[in-house]
Amino acid sequence: MLIYNTFSRKKEEFEPVNPPAVTMYICGPTVYDYFHIGNARSFIMGDIIRRYLIFRGYRVKFVMNITDIDDKIIKKAAEEKTDTSGIASRFSDAFLHDLEKLKINQADVFPRATEHIEEIIDVIKKIELNGAAYDGLDSIYYDISKFREYGKLSGKKLDELESGARVEVNSAKRDPLDFALWKKAKPGEPSWESPWGPGRPGWHIECSAMSMKHLGESIDIHCGGNDLIFPHHENEIAQSEIATGKKFVKYWLHFGFLNIQEEKMSKSLGNFFTAREILGKYPAEALRLLYLQTHYSGPLSFTEDLLISASKGFERIKNFALLIKENINSSPAYGESRFDFEKYRLKFTEVMDDDFNTPKGLAVFYDFIKDANSFIQNNKPGKEFFREAYELTKAIGETVFGIVHFDEINAKTEAGIESKLIELLIEMRQQAKLDKNYKLADEIRLKLGAIGVTLQDSKEGTTYRITV
Ligand code: AMP
Ligand code: ZN
């Protein structure tokens, strides 16, 4: 199996340190707001890679951190006149809820920074002991000049990095690229006791410490979006390798950006859709399908039209799965079953083994569906055919891609009717307004609200959100 390693900038044979065990860490969210579908791309592709490794027989331990203390959380708490733990718990609950809705499998551990202060302090102490930390008045900083290999992940020379770095005003840093390990508390900020006085951890150290705690000092795979290569992952390497003297990560995997009109989707640019908004309008499987159509490492330009056509693709897949499910018990025991399932399974494994090539893997799945459909039309397949078709659809569509859910297929059809009924009520409310029957229009809105369907009016029309 080949895997593209950002570290070596080439595809390498995948040889985990301790097979069949695989240790995998993905940088999770900072919980100060709902996450957008750009973040979701990274989370979904991480989920699919993990699922594929399991499909190939590996025992994967998967850790995703939750950054629950950080400048952005402090700022949000101040804006809302509440405390940081309230903000963090509200948005980490929302995060976990949305992950589930996106059919992303739960991590084995979701470690939170504020629950690992002791471990974080221990790693900083080791860095200090090895001479790579100094007191820069407002923070304890990492001294990058002490790590000769600094820049090895991003592949840049120090002077190149330095000229690109923003120099922080008022900082007592020796080098603009030095970064905070421990931020001393300013008045009113949440803080924890430490050998350097009350304060809180920097962002990078949290991932080093939590990866080591839950997966060991050397791990197989560490992943995150492209934007994390520098400085976040570069700094994680510098911290961890100075602290332990061991190689921190064997394979570095990075996800391409989700762009919107040529720009990276991001909170700061304001050009985003939250995962919640999208899930109110489209099935999670459509978004997953859209992301599977592009290789995880490349950029992907988002448009709503792409999502609409992915929804149609999902309908096709769902109809096929339903056909299989309906026939598995009702078809005759004997019938024509000479269909080469193995061919598709082998081809799927071959293309996915080449650095998780999901666009090709998806093409194999669609070919299988097309060929199986025409086989069903032209022959009288028996139970054995439907059983094998079920197994293969389950393996590719459910286990690896997470776009088929056999248990939910009937329920999903009902959910389809549900959304049509809501649309119908919205139309009736629109008509009531045109007829100046505001009492009825209001009643429809309030009664829908009472069962957890919130209507939102805008110039473009009325949309709804399911809030239960
Ligand atoms: P953040 O909460 O900003 O730290 O982001 C959480 C994860 O989402 C990180 O792995 C980021 O690299 C990733 N991410 C952020 N924006 C995008 C984007 N537009 N496309 C893909 N991944 C993204
Ligand atoms: Zn991280």
57: containing domain: 2-255
Q: Which pLDDT score, from 0 to 100, does residue 414 have?
A: 54
Establish how many alpha carbons lie within 13 A of residue 362's alpha carbon, considering only the half-sphere containing its beta carbon: 20
Cis link prior to 231 (omega < 30° from 0)? yes
Residuewise pLDDT in 10s, the chain (468 residues)? 999 999 999 999 999 999 999 999 999 999 999 999 999 999 999 999 999 999 999 999 999 999 999 999 999 999 999 999 999 999 999 999 999 999 999 999 999 999 999 999 999 999 999 999 999 989 999 999 999 999 999 988 877 777 666 555 556 899 999 999 999 999 999 999 999 999 999 999 999 999 999 999 999 999 999 999 999 999 999 999 999 999 999 999 999 999 999 999 999 999 999 999 999 999 999 999 999 999 999 999 999 999 999 999 999 999 999 999 999 988 787 888 789 999 999 999 999 999 999 999 999 999 999 999 999 999 989 999 999 999 999 999 999 999 999 998 874 455 567 878 888 899 899 889 888 899 999 999 989 988 888 898 887 788 888 776
Query: Is residue 235 within 8 Å of residue 180, measured between CB atoms?
Result: no
Are the CB atoms for 17 and 59 separated by under 8 Å? no
**Cβ count within 10 A of residue 446:** 10
My answer on whether 195 and 314 are in the same domain is no
Are residues 346 and 441 located together in one domain of the fold? no
State whether 433 and 460 are in the same domain. Answer: yes
Q: Are 336 and 382 in contact (CB under 8 A)?
A: yes
The residue assigned the tokens 């988002």 is: 302
Pair (128, 159) in one structural domain: yes
- pLDDT at 458 (0 to 100): 82
Tokens 């001294």 belong to which residue?
A: 143
Q: Give the pLDDT confidence score for residue 456 in this predicted structure.
A: 86
CA-angle at 227, arms to 221 and 232, nearest 5°:
65
Residue 274 falls inside a structural domain: no
Q: How many CB atoms lie within 10 A of CB 244?
A: 17
SS3 309: helix
Ligand nearest to the CA of 40: 1
Give domain status of residue 279, yes or no. no
Residue 7 is assigned to a structural domain of this protein: yes
Asked if 85 contacts 217 with a C-beta cutoff of 8 angstroms, the reply is: no
Task: Please say which residue of 361, 386, 408 terminates a domain.
Answer: 408
Which of 8, 78, 85 is closest to 253 using CA atoms?
Answer: 8
Q: Which pLDDT score is estimated for 411?
A: 45
Tell me what pLDDT residue 168 has.
57
Contact status, residue 119 vs residue 112, Cβ threshold 8 Å = no
Q: Is 301 strand, coil or helix?
A: strand
Domain count within the chain = 3
| Residues 353, 1 contacting (CB under 8 angstroms) | yes
Mutate to test the pocket of ligand 1, among 26, 39, 222 (most ligand atoms within 8 A of CB): 39
The residue count of the chain comes to 468
For residues 47 and 179, membership in a common domain is answered with yes
- Are 314 and 434 found together in one domain? no
Tokens, residue 24: 């995998």
Find, among 384, 390, 345, 381, the residue nearest to 365 by Cα: 345
Q: Is the CB of 275 under 6 A from ligand 1?
A: no
Residue 50's φ and ψ, nearest 5 degrees, are -60, -45
Same domain for 45 and 77, yes or no, is: yes
Report how far ligand 2's centroid is from the alpha carbon of 66 (Å).
9
Q: Residue 363's domain is classified under what CATH number?
A: 1.20.120.640
- Type of residue found at 450: A
- Please report the sign of the dihedral spanned by the C-alpha atoms of residue 127, residue 129, residue 130, residue 134: positive
pLDDT at 172: 84
**327 lies in the same domain as 452:** no
Q: Look at ligand 1, atom 2, and give the residue with the nearest C-alpha.
A: 29
- Cα 200 to averaged position of ligand 2 atoms, centre (Å): 16
DSSP tag of 198:
S
Residues 107 and 217 occupy one common structural domain: yes
Is 320 found in the same domain as 424? no
Token pair, residue 336, equals 């024509």
Best mutation site among 30, 36, 41, 42 for ligand 1 pocket (most ligand atoms within 8 Å of CB): 42
43 lines ligand 1 (CB under 6 A): no
In a domain, 422, yes or no: yes
Do 373 and 456 lie in one domain? The reply is no
Supply the angle between the helices 438-450 and 409-434 in degrees, to the nearest 10: 160
**How far apart are alpha carbons 256 and 253 in whole angstroms?**
10
Query: How high is the pLDDT of residue 122?
Result: 98
Q: Is the domain of 337 the same as that of 436?
A: no
Distance 31 CA to ligand 1 centre (A): 12
355 part of a folded domain: yes
CA dist 407 and 400 (Å) reads 16
Report residue 45 as tokens: 């592709």
